[in-house]
Amino acid sequence: MSKVVILGTAHGSNVPGKRSPDGKFREYKFSREVIAMLKPRLESHGITVFVDMPSDEVPRPGNTELSLRCKYVNGICSKFGKENCVYVSIHVNAAGSDGQWHDARGFAVYVSRSCSAASKRLAKSICDLAITRGLRGNRSVPKEHYWQADFYVIKNTSCPAILTENLFQDNRADVEFLSSQKGKEAIATLHLDALKQYFGHK
């Protein structure tokens, strides 16, 4: 049975905001860097990997981008069987949109409100791993160990789907960590290990 992971890039270089207050950290770039590290590692475990929107620039306006991402994912689901696929959209959180630094730190993972049990299982597993690895930050974590929100790309994809918010792009300490090789490595490995667990690899 084929195991398929579709990795979702965050936003694009032509999307306003989505950066640290000093402009040095860009969410679109971080997401694509983590995906470039993660894809060959998943493939080395026999997993087939697709990336929904690898180019730096994305179609505008935003609803065109998001519907194209879902169309791409759902096409793969039709081909491979949605039960063999999982969609993982890789983002970085922000506490504000005011261009200021904020205090909130740490990892979060979202599933849609009407999601499958499989989505919840993967979400809980990646959150548990994040906590174990000291990425919890300073916010309260829901007792389920995932957050629920109807973000377009996780609501409108037919396979199990999660959206990860990998620390905060408007927290100085988080940005320093995410900008380091160690930080990128930690986020790539977190996703790799959670997906290996999900597919039952040892």
Residue with smaller CB distance to Zn ion, 3 or 11 = 11
Minimum distance, C-beta of residue 34 to Zn ion, in the bound complex (Å)? 13
Per CB under 5 A, the segment of 54-62, 75-83, 89-97, 194-202 that binds Zn ion is: 89-97
For Zn ion, give the closer residue by CB, 89 or 119. 89
Distance CA 150, CA 111 (A): 7
Q: Is the Cβ of residue 9 or residue 74 nearer to Zn ion in the bound state?
A: 9
Q: Which stretch binds Zn ion (CB under 5 A): 7-15, 46-54, 119-127, 149-157?
A: 7-15
Nearer residue to Zn ion within complex by CB, 10 or 154: 10
CB of 96 to Zn ion, least distance (A): 14
CA distance 11 to 8: 9
Other CB atoms within 10 Å distance of the CB of residue 26 = 21
Q: Which amino acid is at 164?
A: T
| Stretch binding Zn ion (CB under 5 A), from 9-17, 124-132, 166-174, 182-190 | 9-17
CA distance 89 to 86: 10
The DSSP secondary-structure symbol of 65 reads H
- Determine if 167 is a binding residue for Zn ion (CB under 5 A): no
CA distances from 21 to 5, 75, 91 (A): 32, 37, 17
Nearest residue to Zn ion, by Cβ distance, number only = 91
91 near Zn ion, judged by CB under 5 A: yes
10 in contact with Zn ion (CB under 5 A): yes
CB closer to Zn ion, 10 vs 66: 10
Q: How far is the CB of 202 from Zn ion (least distance, A)?
A: 33
Residues 6+ positions from 41 with CB-CB distance below 8 Å: 188, 192
- Ranges assigned E (strand) in 46-192: 48-51, 85-93, 108-111, 147-148, 161-168
What span, in angstroms and rounded, lies between the C-alpha atoms of 125 and 122?
5
Provide the minimum distance between the beta carbon of 28 and Zn ion in the complex, in angstroms, as a whole number: 9
Binding site residues, Zn ion, CB under 5 A:
10, 91
